[in-house]
Structure 1
Amino acid sequence: MTVQAEATLEELRKLKTHPTAEELHNILRKRLPKVSLGTVYRNLKMMVREGEALRLVQPDGEARFDGCVDVHYHIRCRSCGRLDDVEMKPLTRIEPRLQEQSGWLVEGHSLEFEGICPRCLSMGGVC
């Protein structure tokens, strides 16, 4: 793994904000001033392909990235787009049940809740 790729993964794993490639690029430039946005995109694509990061596509098409690849869930604010991790145990029994009922080979699942975040709620539902 290159120095840029290692730094990208390290910074991504530190963040809990599920950054876009552009946001991650801005953070990385403090460490590696010459790193290009293209390099960040290529590294993120490689990390997703190798299972070291998750790519989370939002309803508006924007891609956000997550350095935590353990099974976990998210909650997205419909007002501002904030995306947080949800602290709950994974639904481990759902996959075998679905596989048995449907005949599909179930390889995994994702779950995203949506609502209004506390900040937006405090501002009347819009922030």
Structure 2
Amino acid sequence: MAKKARLYNRVNREVLIKEMYNSSEPRTTISFYKYHFIEDPKQFRDALFVALDGIGTKGRIYVATEGINAQISIPTAEFDIFKQTLESVASFLKGCRLNTAVDDDGKSFFQISDKSASKN
């Protein structure tokens, strides 16, 4: 039986904030959005969480049937891998404009938070 992926943050908020401020790892803050029909936002969110958590992504990502909106930070050294990861999860994100912060200390986010929404 395959082990189920962890799809939520398990570390205490205060611990994560302390780790963020004590880290010297260079990080890049990125925002992007893409309008595109996503049939199953929850399934898409889960796949995205697993992929991006694996490369140290922090921030907020909102997924809905009409598309995706993200404000995140990633380890600067992982930028190319981040782009490849986005495209591997969803081909519609290939070539998506990634806006990078100009004045950035890399301390924008301390955890990853993915949310899915579906219209009921």
The normalised TM-score by structure 1 is 0.24
Q: Which structure features the higher share of strand residues?
A: 2
Q: Which structure features the higher share of helix residues?
A: 1
The higher relative CO (CA closer than 8 Å, separation ≥ 6) is in: 2
Greater CA radius of gyration, 1 or 2?
1
